[in-house]
Structures are given as structure tokens and as C-alpha cells.
Structure 1
Amino acid sequence: MKNGTETLETYTTLMTMNGAAHAYAAALSTGIINTIVEEPRTAHDIVRICGTVEHATVLLLDALCAMNVLVKDGERYGPAPILGMLNGQQRMLGNDHWAHLPAFLHTGKLARHAGDAGMAAQEQELSSAALEWLMAPVAQEVAALIGIGARMRECAILDIGSGAAVWSITCAKLDTAAHVTAVDWPAMLVAATEAARAAGVSDRFTAMPGNYETIEFGVSTYDLAIAANIIHRETPETCRSLFSRVLAALKPGGTLAIIDVFSGQEAGELTRAISALELALHAGHGGYKRSEDVIHCLGECGFVEAAYKPVRLPPYTMGAVLAARPA
């Protein structure tokens, strides 16, 4: 009976996810989403502007409300908070590269992705903003695991491949004497600098533009180094190179926090598996690592006390490997 129930649940989930995806796509292609983002409107106004049929449109609008894409206030439909994060190409939910999946399976040819040099700076900033919103609760939990504001105070923090710097800025807010140095490409540091200003830590924030694989970090300079959402882009060889350089940049007893997608949380396995497929679509190397392999590599590079800590918060895929430079 249990197997039958699980099969029925799987069937229902697949059908619902597919229907929801088509409903969202139809709302985009008919202009309904953009019309509502402009300002909350009644169903009658939406039908008039978009040229759709009222009965079908109301059913679609109610489905979008059930999906938490829209909210209804009286007779008006307005955008839910998620639409504030889904700007530009983000609003298409990655359709441009998912459409490439059949070709990828047949040829192995990669899709264009957010890290390509040709991607507009604005799109990179929007992608970073969405990641910041998604990862803010996880960043709070990781900061607690590290001991920021408790056993670790007045930290010099190196944020490697910072993006919008959600991880290091969270630490700086908890440790009011911390100073952050964020390393990333110039377009990404625009978002990080703005995030630091918005968080009130811009006087303790330094942007260091450049390629984290080659830029000089310094020697015995930092109490904490953060490598968040970058090692899945690296090969074992480039991981070893990066870890060795970070070891030299940390003060004796300093901590490296590697934050990334790791397996092991049942609630997040579907998200992790789909994310791994998406990563393969636009990355010719790397891939999500096993925490035990990362710990072994850190030991080879001279780190001690390496341990994995899962973060049991949505999206239930994230974890942190913490390791120390010998004192």
C-alpha cells in the first residue's frame, strides 16, 4: 500500500509541476505577468489589456495565486514577492538554457550561462540579487556555525568569488568590527558594493576586482576566508591550488568556510539533482563535490580540523565544510 501511495504522490507531483510550469509560461507569453508587475489590476482590466478570455484568465490568475506568484487583494491581482526577484532573464526561470537540454544530451555542447563573459552586467547583478534573497537565511545559519560574533570577533574576512557578498556581509553585520575584502569580477562587485552600502557596512568593505584563481590574496592576512558557491565550478586540481593559496592567506588558526551544494539531505535531493543537471548544461568541468572528498583535499593542502556541517534550511541542499590553518 505504501508503494502504491508513493507512486500516486509522485504522479500527482509530476503532473502538478508540469501544469504549473505551463501556467507560468502562458502568463508570461500573454503579457499577463508584466501587466500585473506594472500595477495591481482586476481580472477585467487584465483581460482588456492582454486580449484574453475572461473565464480562462481568472482560472489562470487563481492558479498563479496558489503558486505564490501572485497575490489577490479584493478584486485586484498583484505581484507576490518572488516576482521582485525574477527580473530580466531570471523571469524566464532558465528557459533559454533548459531548451538546450536535448542538444546537450546528443552533442555535449554547453549552453550559454550567467558566468559567460558576454552576459550583460545588469543580468549578472540581477542574478546575484536573487541569490542573496534565496541564501540570506542560510548565510545566517552558516555565520552561527562559524561562530561569528561569538568566538570569532574583529575578523578580517576574505570573500572569494563573492558575487553579491551575502555570506561575508552577513558576518560583518554580526561582527561589528569585521572588515570584508571581496574578490570577484568588476561587474559582480557592483552588486556586492551596493549590498554593503544597503547593509550599512560599506566603511568596512573593500572590493578587490580580479580573477580569484590568479589574484594575490596576501600572506597571513585573514581570520576567515569564505569560498561560497565556487568549488562546484572547479576541478580537483584547481581546488587544491585554491586551497593552498587560501591556507597561506589565513592567519595561523584562521578558518576557511567552504559553502556549497552537498548531497545528504533527503528533503533537498530533487533540488540538488536538478541543479546538478543545470550545472552540467553550462559548465564544461567541475560539478558538485562530496563533502568527504573536500575534507580529504583540505587535509592534503595542510588544513586541520576539517568537518562538514549541513544547513537544514531551504533549499535543503547547502552545507559548509569548515577547516583551520594550523595555529
Structure 2
Amino acid sequence: MSPKEKLVEPKGEVLPSPQKILDMVFGFTPTVALATAVRLDVFTVLSQGVSTVPELSKATGAGLRGLVMLLDFLVSLGLVEKQSGRYSVTPESESYLVRGKDTYVGGFLDLAPGMMQDWLRLGDTLKTGEPVRRVETQDASEEFFPPLIRALYVANMGAARNLARKLGIGTRWRGLRILDVAAGSGVFGIGALLEDPSSTVTALDYPRILNVTREFAAKAGVEDRLSYLEGSLREVPLEDNTFDLALLGNICHSEGEDASREFFRKLQPAMRAGGKVAVIDMVPNEERTGPPFPLLFALNMLLHTRQGGTFTQGEYTRWLQEAGFKKVEAVDIRSHSPAIVASK
């Protein structure tokens, strides 16, 4: 039955098709299949030219019957190609799912089983209000985020470079002192440095996470233009009149409203006249009816933080203006959400 077909009850009442709901019942299956393929190194083996089912079975340890089913499903998802009974990687899977490549994002899939277990407890969290697993404390962050941010570096570099270009970094805006707040992999600060060789970045984050920042800075060849502030954004002091640009990449959603508003107030004196703050996060529309990803991520924050959530452009605008920032605008960075940029 196609999604457009209707069901007709005996009384003659026309009902919409339940297909959308039925599709959601099996919505978890692509994630599980993809995570399994990554765990078995299917894409890595395919990239090495192994193409027949018997050869792939030997290389991955998977049985013939199940492996064919898995490969065919991956073909239907557009992640594997099939021709005359032989399989190969697609440009997308070769770029991002081959272990050992700098662009590998399989770290996301390694976290999938634990995330799915957390989501299965959503009902408990809705009743108690308590997260099933907190990730915003220092100990939890330093354990949870290092493998995740390695994949996020690849996923976010395009948005980081787009933001830098939209702000004119390296063209009409040069020689900046940039604060990368909760830097993680450092992708947003590094993206700016790649656009302008005369700018510098101060990366603020917990010590074990900054070890990953240093690693990516070295790989990008910008390690000599980064300095580091170790600690919590809530506690580390910031000198007045110091920074031209502050980058808040995917941190407000875990901090929550109160802590984000407090940090904006703390940040404002540290910005130079004409300086800018860029908030990069999951931003739903004002009515909170979409897009789906920011709303999905709000539930993810319910599961994993005490105060986290996702916030609209209107909310960020009010919070930044009450902290003393002036013009606030949305900047398209060709990502799931625009960046929210405010000026001092």
C-alpha cells in the first residue's frame, strides 16, 4: 500500500494510510545495519578491492547467508554498489566509513548501541525528569566526548569553513583573536584559522578534551596559533576587552537556558568593541514544529543532561540582547541550522 492510499472502514469512513507509522516502527534498522557493517569493517574491506561474498565472508567473519542480506540492504540505502554479484563502496562510504581515513565518521556508529539503550528509557525520564546518563559534568564529558568529537570534526568542518567565510574571516576581517568555547575537536576555531593565517585561537575546554583539540590542530598545521584554557566555561575567568570573535559550537544545548544566559553575560565584557559571538547549535523554528533534528535533539538532552535543550533564534536573540549584545542575525552555514551571530 502506498502512503497516499486510503483505508475504508465498513461504515464508509475513509482513513489515512498507516504507512508512515509502520515505517517508523522499523526506523531503527538502518542504524543497526550500518553500525554492524562498520563493526565488521565491511566498508574498509570493500575499499581494498574485496568484492565477492565468499571473500568478504572470510575477511569479516560473517556468514554467507546473512552477509548477502546485509550487503543488499546497504545497496538499497545507497552505501554499497552492486554489479554482477560483486560489491563495492560508493564515493560516500569510501570517504567516511573506511577505518583509518582522516575523514572516518564511524565513531558515531560505535556509540549507537549505548545511545539506543538510553532512548529506550525515554519513558522513565519523562516521568522522573532525571537523565538516564549525564554527559555535561567534567568526568562524564572527558569520558564520553573524545571518541564522539573525532567524528564531529569531520561532520562539522564544512559548516566551520562556511561560517568563517560568511563572517569575512580572511578577506575583510583578519588578524582576529578568537575564543573557541567548549572547543571539543576545535573544528570551528580551526576552520577560522584555515581561512586566515593571521588569526589566533584560544581553546577553552576540559583538559582531556583539549588533548584531542591539540591533535587536530597539529593535523591541520595550525598548532602554533592555538593557546589553551583548561576548565569549565562556567568557572574559567575571561579578561575584559580581549576577543574579536567567540565561537560557541554545540555547547548551549547541553548547558541549558540559565547557564547559557549567564555565560553570555560573562562573555560580553571579554569582547572587543565590534566583536562578534557566533552560536552554532540545533535551532528549531519559533513554533517548535520543526525541523525534526533540533526537536529530536531536545529529547536527547532530556535523556543526557539536567538542564539541556534546544532553543529558537528568538530565545537566543533575547538572551544575547539582555547580555548587552546588539545586532543579532541568523547566518546560513549550509548545516541543519543557521548560526546565530551577535555583535557588541
TM-score range, shorter chain: 0.7 to 0.9
1:86 to 106, 128, 133: 106
Partner SS, residue 94 of structure 1: helix
Structure 1 range deviating more: 165-174 or 65-74: 65-74
d(CA) in 1 for partners of 2:75, 2:3: 32
Partners of 2:203 and 2:227 within 8 A in 1 = yes
Which of the residues 165, 172, 178 maps onto 2:199? 178
Match of residue 216 from structure 1: 237
CA contact (8 A) 1:68 1:80 kept: no
Tell me the TM-score normalized by structure 1: 0.83
Q: Are the structure 2 counterparts of residues 55 and 173 from structure 1 closer, same or farther at C-alpha, using a change threshold of 3 Å?
A: same
Output the CA distance in 2 between the equivalents of 1:92 and 1:220. Answer: 45
Distance 1:109 1:301, change over 3 A: closer
How large is the Cα RMSD of the aligned pairs?
A: 3.3
Q: How far does residue 304 in structure 1 lie from its aligned partner after superposition?
A: 1.0
The 2-side partners of 1:157 and 1:204 are apart by 10
Structure 1 residue 273, shift from structure 2 partner: 2.1
Change (3 A) 1:155 1:52: closer
Counterparts of 1:107 and 1:118 in 2: how far apart (Å)?
A: 23
Q: Which residue of 2 aligns with 1:55?
A: 65
Residue 273 of structure 1 corresponds to 295
Q: Given the superposition, is the C-alpha separation of residues 197 and 69 from structure 1 closer, same or farther in structure 2, using an over 3 Å criterion?
A: same
> In structure 2, how many angstroms separate the alpha carbons of the residues matched to 1:321 and 1:60?
41
Alignment of 1:165-204 (within 5 A): 165-204=186-225
Could you tell me how far 1:132 is from its partner in structure 2?
1.3
Letter in 2 for 1:195: F
- 1:17 paired with 2:27, answer yes
1:146 to 152, 167, 173: 167
- Tell me the residue number matched to 1:137: 158
- Deviations along 1:94-146, whole A, 9 cap, x unmatched? 22322332332343331225445444857522211111111111112211222
Cα deviation for residue 178 of structure 1 reads 0.3
Q: Which structure 2 residues correspond to residues 176-325 of structure 1 after superposition, within 5 A?
A: 176-264=197-285, 269-313=291-335, 316=336, 318-325=337-344
Q: CA deviation at 1:16?
A: 5.9
Could you state the TM-score of these two structures normalised by the residue count of structure 2? 0.79
Of 37, 40, 44, 1:34 maps to 40
DSSP 3-state at the match of 2:27: helix
Structure having the higher helix fraction is 1
Aligned partners of 2:135 and 2:305 also within 8 Å: no
Contact residue 162 and residue 184 of structure 1 kept, 8 A: yes
Relative to structure 1, is the Cα distance of residues 38 and 128 closer, same or farther in structure 2, using a 3 angstrom cutoff? same
Q: Distance in 1 between matches of 2:26 and 2:224?
A: 48
The 1:33–1:61 alpha-carbon spacing in structure 2 relative to 1, beyond 3 Å, is: farther
* Ranges in structure 2 where 5+ consecutive residues have no aligned partner: 6-15, 98-103
CA contact (8 A) 1:69 1:82 kept: no
